[in-house]
Chains A and B, each alone.
Chain A
Amino acid sequence: MTLSRSQAKKWVDRVLTQASFGDVRVRITDERRGHLRFAKGQPTTEGDVERLEIHVTAAKDGRHATVTGNRTDDAGLAALVEQAEALAELAPPDPELMPPLGKTTHATVKATDGAAARLGAAERAKAVAAAITTAKDKGVDVAGFLSHAETSTVVADRAGLFAFHQDTRVSMTTTCRTSDGTGSARAGYASFAAGGLDGAALAEDAALRALKSKNPKKVDPGRYTVVLMPDAVADLLSFFSMALGQRAADEGRSWFAKPGGGSKVGESLFDPRVTIFSDPKNAKYPSSPFARDGRPQPRVEWVKGGRLLSLTAERYWADKQGIPSRPRPSSWFMEGTSASLDDLIADVDKGILVSRFWYNRMLARRSLTATGLTRDGTFLIEGGRIATPIGNLRYNDSPLTLLTKLQALGTPERAAFAGDVVVVPPLVVRDFNFESTSDAI
């Protein structure tokens, strides 16, 4: 078990009583995690790790410094606070230092699952055995990764802040490749709970799709209508969410900057069906109700009906601009419809179905253009049906294309390969730019 709320309180007190500065802030994370990898039909490496991290920030007269350590005896804790205070004395004053947060209120979010917290080597072996056996039955190669963790996080300061959150996380990914090396697909599970973990089901899903992706045909690069599955949508939207900073926009170094000054907040920039929000309290997909610095994570609408409503803002900048301070959120949701993936495909006369993207990187910040490649199942759609598997393609395009050249939206799902909670619908998008082909399977 990682730290409980009352244990966390004791630890915080043990740290803060060592402080001589009036402004000392502390963040502690206590984590236990385990994993098992498998590939070529066999388990490979595994491990269990327990790890505590104590971050102490000391501030005085505008000077501040942060020291991180993991010694937990009284002498170790005292040394940590002493080092932070000594280092702060050496730091040049920071005119943007904000006062400590003090007492705040944030939502209480239930994000732990007893079964997830109890996972160990035996349970891991069972799920992995099921995946390996299923893949063998289907005649495909299998590789994957099962990982689980329990984490307690507490953020506190001498001015009265005390924010505590505990969560569990379980994830499993399974890649199946056909024995001739011409087909590949990946399936994944990600949740705070262990209840839905099913190694056999994941392997079966990946195996069937891998078999369907065998012997891909080469298609020419160019502009296509694309059907993007939720993981592909999440990959591209990450560039959008990373660019959502108010300060960069106000300072003219972001796509969200308005030519001539100011930001694009308030403008109707996207298709009216686009609504993107964050919500730590979602019961099925819970996430942390506070940020690393202890600021609460409320439910925030970033885009509503195609209109940009808010950007993230650090405390100093929010104060200066007279706007609400908004941390980078711990979850992303995009609204959709009740249409299934098959419904979406049925309405496409000619297009490409993308299962996921790979090695995505920002290419041009000014136009918010990114690059990356399709992977694990790319298909040509003709006449509303999947006509044939096709070779992988490199895209050079923007998440803005998704939000402006939107043709249809499907039912939101959690993107299983994203690290954070990202719940997005599959999308149909026009004029998506593929720049070149890749021989990778």
Chain B
Amino acid sequence: MRTRDGDTIARGRRIEKDAWAAPDARRHFAYHRDAMPTSRRQFLAASGLLTSAGLLVPGPAAWAMPRGAKAPAPGTPPKSAASGLSGSPVAAHAALARVAVEEATKAKAAYADARIVQWSTEGVDVRDERVSGVSSSTDTGIGVRVLVDGAWGFAATDDLSEAAVRAATKRALEAAKIGAKLRADVGAPPIELAPAPAAKGTWVAPFEVDPRSISARDKAELILEASQAALRVQGVKHTRAGVESIVEDKLLVTSDGTEVHQLFMRMSPSLTATAVHPRLGFASRDHEAAPMLAGWEYVTSLDLVGAAPEIGHEAVQKLHAPAVKAGRRRLILAPSNLWLTIHESIGHPTELDRAMGFEADFAGTSFIGPDAAGKLRLGSKKVTIVADRTQPGGLATTGWDDEGVTAQRWTMVDEGLFVGWQTTRDQAAWIGDKASLGTAYGQKYSGVAFQRMPNVSLQPGSEGYTTEDLINATDDGVYVTGRGSWSIDHQRYNFQFSGQTFWEVKHGRIVGPLRDLAYQANTVDFWTSCDMVGGAGTYRLGGSLGDGKGQPGQSNSVSHGCPPARFMANIIDTGASK
């Protein structure tokens, strides 16, 4: 039975696909393993001896990412790719979007926009040694949004005939008028939009290889090979692997005179190995590759096949690892784990609509009050967090948002002090702002645009620490990589996160792997306990294609960059908990 759970990174298939890039710890130990024959490596991995050497190799950060993605963002979107828009079916329908906006303007709409989107996906799924699915999909349509007498109306259709578009526009206008009467009846003030200058242009998210140019056979062979490589590890009984590429082709026309055409390519690779043991049960290990705003070059740069044996070994290792000593302890989080904690504990509570109560029925509200900007201290001095829609590789990076507002970068947490919200054009006035920060997004053509999360990232520290520096400075703690179970309350106070790999840290060294654990904390306590953050060289992007919010639920794609960082939290042995 499927239950609806909102304001969340969705669970289910999409989730399994959002694994991410190789953890630091994996690289640290790859050094030893490569020098050993397989059987000996497996014995050592299984017995935990391999890691007891505690040697850390601060190797180069050879982790695949789009160019520029490893640095905090520049403040202007990356240069548009030169190609990608030719032959766009969306451009061919531009006249329909203009018809809808003109029709609405004639009917006295104070504002109107029309969004034509073609959402195309291509996917390959592998299970063990077989390709279980090859698929492609295309979903094209138009959504028309109007503001009449201070109330919203919206209608969408996948029928791109002029008659259907006119009918949808009429339906949106009528609904807005009914909404305006309802607002008057219940004494609600009219909705007002902050102005946005007219924008005209095109922007194509940077890519080198269009995923649509790679044949399904080549994709399937690559993923199959990665799956087989993990399956060859002794003790690994099952694998799942896949890759999905998503191309969002979007044209926005607004009554402000804006007309912008954009194209986004997003890649989502995944690989999971499951070890099964007759006595110890089973354990799974996901590759930590993040979904990314990039072309197919990102998938090939990950070397999934080369990484697969390690994923397999670490699945087996999980079965044999000892339990963690529970209690309040130091916690070092790799970027591959910390991004999701940022998403849930900082990204969501700083959505202004949540703080104002507009998401109260589903996602919830926020522990941050509407008047808290500039007053609430939610972290230590080490904690500076920016919102950014210009970050190379960032899944929420764009040229303009879905209300025609230019992409921006702004500070949300300045050395621990909360200073900035996320806003759209109908929210700016709530906090006395004159303009929107450009965070409106509607899923495909059929979702009403509303406030959605930009890329929200923890800035690296000036000390230039490496992951090893954080570990060396820790007398007793655990190091966690990758995304595991995640859950947070509806005002974003109490959270609990697990991970993919867990390591015991003693006297400044990693002394061995640990069995499944989770860390639990209160958001403000957690960020206030942050006493070390890695330097610019350790900064990495994580992200998800399944950031859920709204009713009906919509999915947003968003990235979070961060260095590794150190905290205090309550560690729980989830192997023992029942």
Stretch among B138-146, B393-401, B414-422, B500-508 lining the A interface = B138-146
Q: Min CB distance, A420 to chain B, in Å?
A: 5
Alpha-carbon gap, A249 to B486, bound state (A): 25
For B489, give its contact among A92, A237, A358, A422 (CB under 8 Å): A358
By the criterion of a CB under 8 Å from any partner CB, how many residues of chain A are at the interface?
A: 106
Q: Which residue in chain B gives the minimum CB-CB distance to A417?
A: B4
In chain A, positions 339-370 with a C-beta closer than 8 Å to chain B are 358-367, 369
Q: Mark A38-55, 1 if CB is under 8 A from B, else 0.
A: 011111111111111100
Q: Min CB distance, A379 to chain B, in Å?
A: 18
Q: Which residue in chain A gives the minimum CB-CB distance to B126?
A: A92
In chain B, positions 1-26 with a C-beta closer than 8 Å to chain A are 1-5, 7-8, 11
Q: Confirm or deny: B490 has a beta carbon within 8 angstroms of a beta carbon on chain A.
A: yes
Q: Assuming the A-B contacts A91-B216, A91-B220, are A143 and B186 also in contact, with contact meaning beta carbons closer than 8 angstroms in the complex? A: no
Q: Assuming the A-B contacts A237-B1, A251-B238, are A92 and B155 also in contact, with contact meaning beta carbons closer than 8 angstroms in the complex? A: no
Q: Which residue in chain A gives the minimum CB-CB distance to B135?
A: A66
B574, A363: Cβ atoms closer than 8 Å:
yes
Q: Confirm or deny: B390 has a beta carbon within 8 angstroms of a beta carbon on chain A.
A: no
Q: In the assembled complex, which residues on chain B have CB atoms less than 8 Å from the CB atom of A159? A: none
B446, A51: Cβ atoms closer than 8 Å:
yes
Stretch among B32-40, B54-62, B94-102, B514-522 lining the A interface = B514-522
Q: Which residue in chain A gives the minimum CB-CB distance to B278?
A: A260
Q: Mark B148-175, 1 if CB is under 8 A from A, else 0.
A: 0001111111110000000010011011
Q: Mark B97-121, 1 if CB is under 8 A from A, else 0.
A: 0000000000000000000000000
Alpha-carbon gap, A147 to B550, bound state (A): 12
For B360, give its contact among A175, A360, A397 (CB under 8 Å): A175
Q: In the assembled complex, which residues on chain A have CB atoms less than 8 Å from the CB atom of B178? A: 121-122, 125
A437, B361: Cβ atoms closer than 8 Å:
no
Q: In the assembled complex, which residues on chain A have CB atoms less than 8 Å from the CB atom of B499? A: none
Alpha-carbon gap, A127 to B253, bound state (A): 33
A252, B237: Cβ atoms closer than 8 Å:
yes
Interface on chain B toward A: helix, strand, loop, or mixed SS? mixed
Q: Min CB distance, B6 to chain A, in Å?
A: 9
Q: Confirm or deny: B433 has a beta carbon within 8 angstroms of a beta carbon on chain A.
A: no
Stretch among A3-11, A67-75, A99-107, A290-298 lining the B interface = A67-75
Q: In the assembled complex, which residues on chain A have CB atoms less than 8 Å from the CB atom of B303? A: none
Stretch among B73-81, B351-359, B455-463 lining the A interface = B351-359
In chain A, positions 415-441 with a C-beta closer than 8 Å to chain B are 415, 417-420, 422, 433, 435-441
Q: Confirm or deny: A65 has a beta carbon within 8 angstroms of a beta carbon on chain B.
A: yes
Q: Which residue in chain A gives the minimum CB-CB distance to B155?
A: A48
Alpha-carbon gap, A70 to B216, bound state (A): 21
A43, B358: Cβ atoms closer than 8 Å:
no
Q: Confirm or deny: B572 has a beta carbon within 8 angstroms of a beta carbon on chain A.
A: yes
Q: In the assembled complex, which residues on chain B have CB atoms less than 8 Å from the CB atom of A128? A: 182
Q: In the assembled complex, which residues on chain A have CB atoms less than 8 Å from the CB atom of B378? A: none
A433, B552: Cβ atoms closer than 8 Å:
no
For B494, give its contact among A132, A364, A438 (CB under 8 Å): A438
Q: Confirm or deny: A238 has a beta carbon within 8 angstroms of a beta carbon on chain B.
A: yes
Q: Min CB distance, A291 to chain B, in Å?
A: 14
A53, B139: Cβ atoms closer than 8 Å:
yes
Alpha-carbon gap, A253 to B174, bound state (A): 54
Q: In the assembled complex, which residues on chain B have CB atoms less than 8 Å from the CB atom of A358? A: 5, 364, 489-490
In chain A, positions 108-134 with a C-beta closer than 8 Å to chain B are 121-122, 125, 128-129, 132-133
Alpha-carbon gap, A203 to B356, bound state (A): 20
Q: Confirm or deny: A87 has a beta carbon within 8 angstroms of a beta carbon on chain B.
A: yes
- Give the one of B132, B151, B485, B487 with max A CB within 10 A: B487
Q: Confirm or deny: A375 has a beta carbon within 8 angstroms of a beta carbon on chain B.
A: yes
For A39, give its contact among B179, B361, B448, B487 (CB under 8 Å): B361
A68, B175: Cβ atoms closer than 8 Å:
no
A45, B496: Cβ atoms closer than 8 Å:
no
Q: Which residue in chain A gives the minimum CB-CB distance to B283?
A: A366
Q: Confirm or deny: A153 has a beta carbon within 8 angstroms of a beta carbon on chain B.
A: no
Alpha-carbon gap, A96 to B129, bound state (A): 11
A420, B1: Cβ atoms closer than 8 Å:
yes
Q: In the assembled complex, which residues on chain B have CB atoms less than 8 Å from the CB atom of A254? A: 282
Q: Assuming the A-B contacts A132-B186, A143-B361, A373-B487, are A363 and B154 also in contact, with contact meaning beta carbons closer than 8 angstroms in the complex? A: no
| 9 A–B pairs (Cβ distance < 8 Å), ordered by A | A47-B154, A52-B158, A68-B139, A121-B171, A371-B485, A371-B496, A394-B489, A396-B577, A436-B570
Report the 5 A-B pairs with minimum CB-CB distance, sorted nearest first: A42-B188, A68-B137, A438-B494, A47-B154, A440-B491
Give residues in B with beta carbon < 8 Å to A: 1-5, 7-8, 11, 130-141, 143, 151-159, 168, 171-172, 174-175, 178-179, 181-183, 185-188, 215-217, 220-221, 224, 237-238, 274, 276, 278-279, 281-284, 356-362, 364-365, 367, 446, 448, 450, 485-494, 496, 498, 516, 518, 520, 522, 551-552, 570, 572, 574-575, 577-578
